[in-house]
Amino acid sequence: MAVAKSSALSEPHPYEGRTGEYRLIARTFLRDRFAVISLAVIVLFVLGAVLAPYLTPYPKQGAGEPNISNRFLAPSRTHPFGTDNLGRDVLARVLYGGRSSLSIGFLVVLVAVAIGTPLGAVAGYYGGWLDEAIMRFTDLSLSFPPLLLAIAIAAALGPSFVNSMIAIGLTWWPWYTRLVRAQTVSVKQRPFVEAARSMGVRDPAIVFRHIMPNIITVVLVQATMDLGGAILTAAAMSFLGLGAQPPTADWGRMVSEGRTYFLNQPWYATFPGLAIFLASLSFTLLGDSVRDILDPRTRRSA
């Protein structure tokens, strides 16, 4: 099947693997039920967040406009998730909340990877005093309890969406530095690095062309799994009032506000809580599957 089709595809790059990497990845992925379900959930969340204004009949409430006359309506056909203490449709708020909660997750991981990966690669490849300096600074950063450090930074910068992202990102990068350094040290001892050096390939090319591609899957898997954790941490921050500020919708903040009414109006805290749970679980499961798929050995044997 695969053989017959390959000639019909546009001509591949001369160095690309002829086995049809992408098709193989797709096929392995589709065979993994957890991966498909978790990806579907994530796609739904992302679509819901992006298309929120078009999906809900109450876009203004989603954006924060109160509607006091409809306070605490129980879930019904017009308000599937009920309404909150200001009479806003909770479904609309959850969809809008995805915008801040999901984007902060991505941004935090992006900041952490962007800071941590190059530091780890440099420390691991060059070694010596540079390694010592970078890793001791990393240890120093890790010696603070992460949530407390993030809270301290966010409190110092002032509570806002961007500041909470910076605060969490700054507590997250050391893990990537450690991960990437360890991987770099192990990969640089493999004979192909020595072979590349013996053929006059320069250091930057060795780090970025030879070593990085061998560890990028590990970083990617870690990043995917961390997305769940980042969303959770961001939710915790906004639960404490340090994240996105009202009237912007945010899952953590909604849980925080809803908990006061939990005994009588459980839907207010429950649905954003479920959103946090589902989103972080899905990212974690997806990360697991991505690891299996991106490792060429497990992929081929699968």
Partner 1 sequence: MGEPLLSVENLWVQFPTYAGTVRAVNGVSLQVNHGEIYGLVGETGCGKTITGLSILRLVPPPGEIVSGTITLEDLDIMSMDKAALNRIRGGRAAMIFQDPSASLNPVFTIGEQISLVIRSHQEVGRRESYEHVLAMLDAVELPDPAHVARAYPHELSGGMQQRVMIALALCSNPELLIADEPTTALDVTIQAQILELLARLREDRGLAILIITHNLGVVAEICDRVSVLYAGHVVEEGSVRHIFKSMHHPYTRGLLAALPHPGTHGTILPAIPGSVPSLHDTYAGCPFHQRCPDMLDICPVEAPQLRSSTPDRPDHRVACHLLHQERME
- Contact residues for partner 1 (CB under 8 A)? 14-19, 190-192, 194-202, 205, 209-210, 213-214, 296
Q: How far is the CB of 16 from partner 1 (least distance, A)?
A: 6
Please state, in angstroms and rounded to a whole number, the distance separating the CA atoms of residues 181 and 15. 29
Only one residue has tokens 């809900």, namely 56
Q: How far is the CB of 188 from partner 1 (least distance, A)?
A: 11
Q: What are phi and psi of 89, to 5 degrees?
A: -65, 120
Q: How far is the CB of 197 from partner 1 (least distance, A)?
A: 6
In the complex with partner 1, which residue's Cβ is closer, 14 or 143?
14
Q: How far is the CB of 86 from partner 1 (least distance, A)?
A: 54
CA distances from 249 to 4, 92, 161 (A): 51, 9, 11
- Long-range contacts: 140-148, Cβ < 8 Å, 24+? 141/170, 141/171, 141/173, 141/174, 142/174, 142/175, 142/178, 144/171, 146/171, 146/172, 146/233, 147/171, 147/233, 147/236
In the complex with partner 1, which residue's Cβ is closer, 31 or 209?
209
Please state, in angstroms and rounded to a whole number, the distance separating the CA atoms of residues 250 and 13. 45
Identity of the amino acid at 100: S
CA distances from 182 to 190, 218, 253 (A): 13, 11, 37
In the complex with partner 1, which residue's Cβ is closer, 259 or 299?
299
Please state, in angstroms and rounded to a whole number, the distance separating the CA atoms of residues 88 and 90. 6
Q: How far is the CB of 27 from partner 1 (least distance, A)?
A: 18
**How many angstroms separate the most distant Cα atoms in the chain?**
77
Q: How far is the CB of 10 from partner 1 (least distance, A)?
A: 15
Helix (H, G, I), strand (E, B) or coil at 89: strand
Q: How far is the CB of 293 from partner 1 (least distance, A)?
A: 14
User: CB 50: neighbour CB atoms within 10 A?
Assistant: 14
Q: How far is the CB of 153 from partner 1 (least distance, A)?
A: 37
In the complex with partner 1, which residue's Cβ is closer, 162 or 205?
205
- Residues in a beta bridge with 89: 83
In the complex with partner 1, which residue's Cβ is closer, 15 or 54?
15
In the complex with partner 1, which residue's Cβ is closer, 24 or 142?
24
Rg (CA), the chain: 23
In the complex with partner 1, which residue's Cβ is closer, 128 or 263?
128
In the complex with partner 1, which residue's Cβ is closer, 166 or 201?
201
